[in-house]
Structure 1
Amino acid sequence: MTVLEPRDAVVVDDSPGGSGKGVLGREYRALSVGIVSVVLLIAFEATAVGTAMPVAARELGGVSLYAFAFSGYFTTSLFGMVLAGQWSDRRGPLGALTTGIAAFGAGLLIAGTAASMWLFILGRAVQGLGGGLVIVALYVVVGRAYPERLRPAIMAAFAASWVVPSVVGPLAAGAVTEHLGWRWVFVGIPVLVVFPLALALPQIRRRASGPVDGVSEASFDRRRIRLALGISLGAGLLQYAAQDLRPLSLLPGLAGAALLVPSVLGLLPRGTYRAARGLPSVVLLRGIAAGSFIAAESFIPLMLVTQRGLSPTLAGFSLAAGGGTWALASWVQSRARVEPYRERLMTLGMVLVAAAIATAPSVLIDSVPAWTVAVAWAFGCFGMGLVISSTSVLLLHLSAPEEAGTNSAALQISDGLSNVLLLAAGGAAFAALGGGTVSHTVARASGTGSHPAAFAAVFLPMAGVALVGAWVTTRLRER
């Protein structure tokens, strides 16, 4: 889940005397409600789709392609992020935002009407392109429309918008999946986007349209667009090779790496791969945190459905408490009094994420209660709330106005690319250790089900990646 963030929902202004110009003050109210509503719908989609995905994969005969349904989204979103960064810096974020929402809705409709797993994955890919456009455009809107003192508050509001979807989304999606079918989870969301668009677009046009002063409205940087295509195609080839697991798939894997490495080096800040201090480490940390967490979270519903026999509703609901703890942590980081301790809080956050991921596979032991995952994930989401919100705040703080789109795109590329690569690695390990069988009752009766090691091979390496992120948090400020 890629998130932005509630502070001025209860505190309108921290300035002396309180001017009433917080994110819900008269000046910013319509814009704040509109863009937060967009994030709210994205949150409903993310929580609902995660609940319905195991059933969709099973009915479409594509359990072996399960990881593709997630990584397909992230692969195309990489291109969308770079395109949105260029688009927003040169012509303002309005066009990228509206186009992204349209593509997001179209992808949901394609996936919801798919007759095969590959068509379902295509829908997710179209949806990912839209998601990449939307998330970067929203960051640029925040950077342009809100003063620096209000940015932690609007980032916290974005995260708070995940609370209700995290609770209601899995329950609603599980009930719809069981009684109406999983397809309705996808086709029912696009119509809900009309209200937030009508509210936010006039405000965005007034406050954040057009290029930044000094930036030409000329054509896009073709080199960056080529690099974006390279990074998307390379990530897709690597994902395919990781799922195929035949010697011949080394060829697309090597081709993917050859495309991916130079593209990444060209699109991310110099020194990102070696955790150089300052902006490069902020970008790197975002990828480490998001990739390890999402790769692990994607397999939790499948593990609970296939290994513990939970219904899709209960499996999805096991992640519900995380929305509240994520928002709580985002609110904590938005308080002015914790600003001197931001890096320490981020270190704590990554330790919590690592501990939660390492705890999740304990439910593969029958004597461990299934609700252990829910408790562990609540703590992990608290850690993510501290880290993700803070990386967003630090990025905008370290970016000049004319670089906000490009640097926001770099942050989201790190986020999305790590999701693709770590999902590919996790999916390959899962498939190699027999993760393709999903029937809980058949597995228990015949002994032919997914071996628990297939899930452990996903979770435990991701916990190690999260611990590396704890070290990166010590390098976020330049000396």
Structure 2
Amino acid sequence: MTATISGWSAIVSPRYLGATVTLCLGVALLAFNGFLVSTALPTAVAELGGVALLSWATTVFLVFAIMGGAGAALLKERLGARMALIAAASVFLLGSLIAAIAGSMPELLVGRALQGLGEGIVAAICYALIPELFPSSLVPKVFGAESVVWALAAFGGPVLSGGLTETLSWRAAFAVNLPIGAIFIALVLLIVPRGIRSKAEGRLPIVRLLLIGAAIMAVSVGGLLDSPVLTGLCLALAAATLWSVIVRDRTAATPLFPTHAFRLDDVVGAGLWVILLMPLAQAGSAVFLVYALQNIFAFGPTLAGMVGAVMAITWSIVAILVAGVSDATRPRLIRIGPMLLVAGLGLLAVALAMGQLPLVILSQVLIGASYGASWAYTSQTIMEAARPGERDRASALLPTIQSAGYGIGAAVAGLIANSAGIAAASTPEALTGVLVMTFALCAGLSLPAVWAALAMTRR
């Protein structure tokens, strides 16, 4: 009986297949959209003009996705899961349509903002639904299935986008979201329960959501600046703003975060630090690895992208392998994950310094294994440790905090690289020195994640 309840076949059995497909498709909207757009945008800019706004197409998506994710639990509570998902998916579809027919870059940015807002809510609610739709024994396997979605997106997204852009138009990379989004809405209507709507009359915390958006915008702007001083000021302003939001939220009538969020003496609070700090440290390799492979090892874009995708593939494989471990083993995996991340980022710096491609690949295996071993169980522990009535808030925050970590980490890595002189590095040797320093400091940034994981599993 245990094998039937907890085996891999259970999540694709008639009882759970619909829920598995629905939640994975909700995550796929975010995963594939990121990879699709990243390869289609340069062609869009060539047609529409406005090259100065190219980076903002990603920035506005990230900012609005984080704002939407932060408020997703409240929307789920007040509208019910089904209605909230349908409304958010509709906003995402509207954004995709506007982007597909855009006649200028400002119109494209409006579409990207709506895409980010809708998908931020969708992804957050899909996470919140995992413990509602599946028993605890299947939760790690659902996370394993979602990690496979990310790996498929890493490989298939650029290929699909390139094919659509070359054979049809860059607009097709946005338009392809329309039928996928429609299928998602149909599945939501069939699978997701209406949920109990809250009768709370408190106002939605618009000011706090706007402050969160402003802080992430400051981080994104800081990552685009050439001046390390101005970038540092942007990051300091963002940190102060986010901390003020967290402090205010603790006494608010309609809180966005669970009780004791980001307190190290609390399982949920420490777990949220892990979810934030691991992507923050790893963002440096996500931003600069492919660039290093192209400019130091003289790889073409495709081969460099394949090496970069080793991390996602390893994440998926390891997540599948550890999805059935015992409850007693899970705290060890939560602690091992950040430790592997420190080792992987440190090895990446060493590999570049030595000019050893095999070590670069091994570093990506270690980084992928760090997430594969720990991410699902870190997330599940946060969900299950949440106080009564706060599980939705804790669960919905997971993809939101993860996105914020990547955004902040990208800006921090940019600050390190700019301070080290990446703009003036005109030779492979000079670039190697800059990126060795960048990856070494990113390895140092991952050490607090180890501390947070230890604090999280100490109870």
Equivalent position amino acid for 2:403 in 1: G
User: Quick one: structure 1 residues 367 and 296, their matched pair in 2 at CA, closer, same or farther if it must change by over 3 Å?
Assistant: closer
The aligned counterpart of 1:3 is none
1:35-114 maps to which residues of 2 (within 5 A)?
Answer: 35-49=23-37, 70-107=58-95
Q: Distance in 1 between matches of 2:429 and 2:52?
A: 12
Instruction: Spell out the pairing of 1:57-206 with structure 2 (5 A cutoff).
Output: 70-107=58-95, 124-173=112-161, 185-204=173-192
Q: Distance in 1 between matches of 2:382 and 2:189?
A: 24
Name 1:225's counterpart in structure 2: 206
Q: Deviations over 1:294-327 (max 9, x none)?
A: 3431332333334444333222222333333212
For residues 201-220 of structure 1, the aligned pairs below 5 Å read 201-204=189-192, 207-211=193-197, 216-219=198-201
Q: Tell whether 2:317 aligns with 1:328.
A: yes
Is it true that 1:264 corresponds to 2:251 in the alignment?
Answer: no
Counterpart-to-counterpart distance in 2, 1:470 and 1:387: 12
Q: CA deviation at 1:263?
A: 0.8
CA positional deviation for 1:340: 0.5
Whether the 8 Å contact between 1:64 and 1:435 is mirrored in structure 2 is: no
Query: Which residue does the alignment assign to 2:407?
Result: 420
User: Hey, what does 1:379 align to over in structure 2?
Assistant: 366
Aligned to 2:273: 284
The corresponding residue for 2:445 is: 465
- Quickly say closer, same or farther: Cα 1:64–1:360, change in 2 above 3 A: farther
Deviation at 1:347, TM superposition (A): 2.0
Tell me: CA distance 1:286–1:268, structure 2 relative to 1, closer, same or farther (3 Å).
same
1:46 Cα deviation after fit: 3.6
1:239 to 213, 220, 230: 220
Per-residue deviation, 1:281: 0.9
**Are residues 465 and 249 of structure 1, via their aligned partners in 2, closer, same or farther at CA, if it must alter by over 3 Å?**
closer
* Aligned match of 1:13: 5
User: CA 1:276 to 1:113, structure 2 compared with 1: closer, same or farther past 3 Å?
Assistant: farther
The verdict on how the C-alpha distance between 1:251 and 1:380 changes in structure 2, with shifts beyond 3 A counting, is closer
Matching of residues 340-419 of structure 1 within 5 Å: 340-361=328-349, 364=352, 367-369=355-357, 372-400=359-387, 402-419=389-406
Q: Percent identity?
A: 24
Q: Is the 8 A contact 1:237 1:256 kept in 2?
A: yes
Unaligned runs of 5+ in 1: 1-9, 438-442
1:317 is matched with 306
Q: Distance in 1 between matches of 2:94 and 2:440?
A: 36
Shift of 1:142: 1.7
**CA distance, structure 1, for counterparts of residue 355 and residue 298 of structure 2:** 14
Map Cα deviations across residues 402-461 of structure 1 (whole Å, 9 max, x no partner): 322222234344323322222221223334445458xxxxx87xx599834443454222
Q: Which amino acid aligns with 1:101?
A: A
Shift of 1:30: 1.8
Give 1:365 shift.
Answer: 5.6
1:394: Cα distance to partner? 0.8
Instruction: Determine if contact 2:95/2:112 at 8 Å carries over to the other structure.
Output: yes
How many Å separate the matches in 1 of 2:374 and 2:44?
A: 32
TM-score (norm 2): 0.81
Q: 399-408 vs 252-261, which deviates more?
A: 252-261
User: CA distance change for structure 1 residues 185 and 291 in 2, over 3 Å: closer, same or farther?
Assistant: farther
- Three-state SS of the structure 2 residue aligned to 1:276 is coil
RMSD of aligned C-alpha atoms? Answer: 4.0
Report the Cα distance in structure 1 between the residues aligned to 2:408 and 2:343, rounded to whole angstroms. 21
Gaps of 5+ in 2: 250-255
Q: CA deviation at 1:88?
A: 0.9
Residue 285 of structure 1 and its aligned partner are, at CA, apart by 0.7
In 1, Cα distance between equivalents of 2:96 and 2:222: 26
Q: What amino acid is aligned across from residue 447 of structure 2 in structure 1? A: L
- Letter aligned with residue 13 of structure 1: I
Tell me the amino acid that sits aligned with residue 143 of structure 2.
Answer: M
Distance 1:179-1:320 versus aligned 2 partners, 3 A rule: farther
In structure 2, give the amino acid aligned to 1:127.
Answer: Q
Q: How far apart are the structure 2 equivalents of 1:69 and 1:451? A: 27
Shift of 1:36: 1.9
* Alignment partners' CA distance in 2, 1:92 and 1:161: 26
- CA 1:256–1:285: 2 relative to 1, 3 Å: closer
| Separation of aligned partners in 1, 2:53 and 2:346 | 24
Deviates more, 1:186-195 or 1:54-63: 54-63
Moved more, 460-469 or 36-45: 36-45
